[in-house]
Amino acid sequence: MTNALGFSVLSITAYVPIVGAILIMFLFSRQRPLAIKWFAFGVSLISLFFSLFMIPYFEPSNVQMQFVERAEWIPSIGVQYFFGIDGISLPLIILTTLLSSVAVLCSFSNIGERQKEYYVSLLILETGMLGVFMALDVFLFYVFWEVMLVPMYFLIGIWGGQRKLYAAIKFFLYTLFGSVFILLGFLALYFLNANPAYGSGEFTFNLLELYRMAPRLPENFQFWIFLALFVGFAIKVPLFPLHTWLPDAHVEAPTAGSVILAGVLLKMGTYGFVRFSLPLLPKASFNLVPFISLLAIIGIIYGALVAMAQKDIKKLVAYSSVSHLGFVMLGIFALNSQGLLGALLQNLNHGLSTGALFLIVGILYERRHTRMIADYGGLSSVMPVFTVVFAIAMFSSIGLPGLNGFVGEFLILLGVFQTSTVYAAFAVTGIVLGAGYMLWLFQRMMFGPVTHEENRNLRDMNRREVAYMLPILVLMFWIGIYPKPYLEIMEPSVKNLIQHVELARGTPESLSAQASEALRQHQYLTTEWSR
C-alpha cells in the first residue's frame, strides 16, 4: 500500500469536477453559456490530466493498492475515507475522465436550454463515477454509487427525449432497487466480520479487511449475500432479465447521457462483480457460475436478436449493449485470468465503441432530428468523413481483428473455453449475430442512393466533432493492434484476484498444507492494513 506521489492525486482527480460544478453554480451567469461550456470542458480536462498523470507512477507489477489515501471518517461505526486503485480500476478511471471530457464537448451544440444546470449535473456525475472506482471502503463506495444516480436522473429527465419523465424515474427506481440490496449485503458482511467466529471481530467497512473473511465464511451465508449483491450489480450491468430499464434510459437520454451510461455506468456493474462479489464471496461465485453464465448467454443472444429488429438507431445500440455486456459477464465468470482479463479489456472496448456509436447517433440527430433508420440511406456519398468514423466504430463493435473489440472477445472466449466448451459455442453465435445487425444497420444507412431529399445536403462532421471522436478512434486502433500496455497494467492485479478466489474457495480444513500456506501468504490476506 503505497502512494508513489506525495499528494492525494486520486482525491484531486475525483473532486475537481464537483468543485468545478459548484463554481459554475455560483459564479457564472446563465446569460453567458459559452463561458460555462468552456469552463466545464476545462474542468473535465484537468481531471483527465490528473488521471493520465498517474500512469507513469503506477507500478503494474505491484498488486497492492496504489496512490492510497486513508483517514478516519466515521470512527463510531468503523467507516474510513479510503481511496486506492489497482490495475483493475486504473483503466476504468481513465475511461471515465476521457468519456466525461468527450461528453462535455459533444454537448456544446446539442444542448440549447438550461445549460448551466446541464454542465453542473454532468460534472457532479463525473465525481460520482470516479469515486465508485476509487473507493475501497464499502460505505464510501455505496455513497458514491448512489450519489451518481441523482445527476443522471436530471440529465435524462430535463434534457431527454419525448418519454423522458418515464425513462428518468424508471432508471432511478430500478437502480435504487438494486442498490438497496447491495446495502443489505454490505451490512451483513460488516456484522459477520465483527463476529470473531467468521471475521476479525472488528467493526469495519474496509474492503481489504473484509476480503480476509472470504475463506472462513460458510457457504450458505455466501450464497445469500452473493444474491443480494447480484441483484444490485446485475441491474447495473445489465444482465438479462434485469435489463429493461436500459433501452428506455438510453433512448431518452441526451447524447452525452447515453455516452456516459453506456461507457461508464454499465461498467460499474461489472466492476462491482469483480471488486466485491468474486473476492468477498468466492465459494458462492463458483457455485453460481452455471446460473450466471446461462443468463449471460441468454443476454448475448437475446440482445443481439432484439437489436436486429429495431427501427430506432439508439435502441439498436442500446440492445447491442445488453449483448456485449453479456460477453463481459461470461468472461468474468469463467473465473480464470484469461477470461477476467478479457472481460476487463472488453469493458473498456465497449465503453469506447458504444460511446462512439452513441456520439454518431447524436451527430446525425442534431442535423436531422430523427433517429429512425428508415429516414437515412446513402449517407456515404453525402458525409464521407462521417462514414469513415462510423465504419471504424462499427467494426470495433463487431470485433474485427485489428481493432480493439477483437482482442477482448478473443481473450474472453479463450477463458470461457477452458471452463466450458458449450458456453463458448453459444457465445460465438452472439458474435455472428452482432456482425449481422451492425453491418445491416450500416448498409441501410450509408449505402445505396440517397432516399430522402433532406439528407442530400447534410453537413459533414465539423472540427469539434472530429476532435472528440479522434481520441476514441486512436484508442480503438491502439488496443486492437498493440494491446500489450493495457494488458500489462491489468494482468498482475487480475492474476492476484484469481489466485485469491482460487485459494479462498476451499474450506480451511480441506486445504492441503501447501495451499493453506499459500493462502496465509497471499497478498490480499496478509498485508498489514495499519489502522
Partner 1 sequence: MPLKLPDINLFAIMPEIAMTVLVCLVLLVDLFVPQRRKALLGLLTLFGVVVTGLLTLPLIGMEADLFSDMYRVDSFAIFFKFIFLAITALTVLISMRYLSIEEIHLGEYYALVLFSVIGMMVMAGGSDLLTIYIGLELLSIPIYMLVGFMKRDLLSQEGGIKYFLLGAFSSGIILYGIALAYGITGTTNLAAMHAAFGETTGPNILLTLSVIMIVAGFAFKIALVPFHMWAPDAYQGAPTSITAFMSVGTKAAAFAGLLRIFAVAFEGIADQWAILLWLLAVFSMTWGNIAAMVQSNLKRLLAYSSVAHAGYVMMGLVVGSEIGMASVLLYLAVYIFMNMGAFTMVILLCRQNFRGDRVEDFRGLARAHPLAGIGFVIFFLSLAGIPPTAGFVGKFYLFSAAIESGYIWLALIGVLNSVLSVYYYFKIVANMYMAEPAGKVDISTSVPLRLALGLMVAGVLLIGVYPDPLISAAKASVAPFFQGASAIALVP
Q: Which residues bind partner 1 (CB under 8 A)?
A: 73-77, 114, 117, 142-143, 146-147, 149-150, 153-154, 157-158, 164-165, 168-169, 172-173, 176-177, 180-181, 183-184, 187-188, 190-192, 194-195, 221
User: Measured between alpha carbons, how far is 56 from 343 in angstroms, rounded to an integer?
Assistant: 24
Handedness of CA 75, 77, 78, 84 (dihedral sign): negative
Q: Nearest approach, Cβ of 116 to partner 1 (angstroms)?
A: 8
Q: Nearest approach, Cβ of 118 to partner 1 (angstroms)?
A: 12
Q: Which three cell numbers stand for residue 462?
A: 465539423
Residue 188 vs 511, nearer CB to partner 1: 188
Amino acid identity of residue 137, one-letter, is D
* Residue 206 DSSP code: B
Q: Which three cell numbers stand for residue 64?
A: 497492492
Q: Nearest approach, Cβ of 206 to partner 1 (angstroms)?
A: 16
Q: Nearest approach, Cβ of 198 to partner 1 (angstroms)?
A: 9
Burial 210-226 (b: 16+ CB within 10 A, else e): bbbbbbebeeebbeebb
Residue 158 vs 466, nearer CB to partner 1: 158
Residue 168 vs 325, nearer CB to partner 1: 168
User: Measured between alpha carbons, how far is 381 from 373 in angstroms, rounded to an integer?
Assistant: 17
Q: Nearest approach, Cβ of 15 to partner 1 (angstroms)?
A: 13
Residue 81 vs 440, nearer CB to partner 1: 81
Nearest CA among 310, 335, 329, 331 for reference residue 320: 310
Residue 165 vs 374, nearer CB to partner 1: 165
Nearest CA among 392, 407, 224 for reference residue 331: 407
Q: Nearest approach, Cβ of 321 to partner 1 (angstroms)?
A: 24
Q: Are 408 and 401 in contact (CB under 8 A)?
A: no
**Is 335 exposed, middle or buried, given 0-12, 13-18 or 19+ CB atoms closer than 10 A?**
buried
Residue 74 vs 474, nearer CB to partner 1: 74
Q: Are 519 and 503 in contact (CB under 8 A)?
A: yes
User: Measured between alpha carbons, how far is 325 from 330 in angstroms, rounded to an integer?
Assistant: 8
Residue 233 vs 395, nearer CB to partner 1: 233
Q: Are 335 and 286 in contact (CB under 8 A)?
A: yes
User: Measured between alpha carbons, how far is 145 from 268 in angstroms, rounded to an integer?
Assistant: 9
Q: Are 134 and 84 in contact (CB under 8 A)?
A: yes
Sequence-distant (≥ 6) Cβ neighbours of residue 74 within 8 angstroms: 139
Q: Nearest approach, Cβ of 157 to partner 1 (angstroms)?
A: 5
Q: Nearest approach, Cβ of 197 to partner 1 (angstroms)?
A: 8
Residue 69 vs 502, nearer CB to partner 1: 69
Residue 16 vs 360, nearer CB to partner 1: 16
Q: Nearest approach, Cβ of 417 to partner 1 (angstroms)?
A: 39
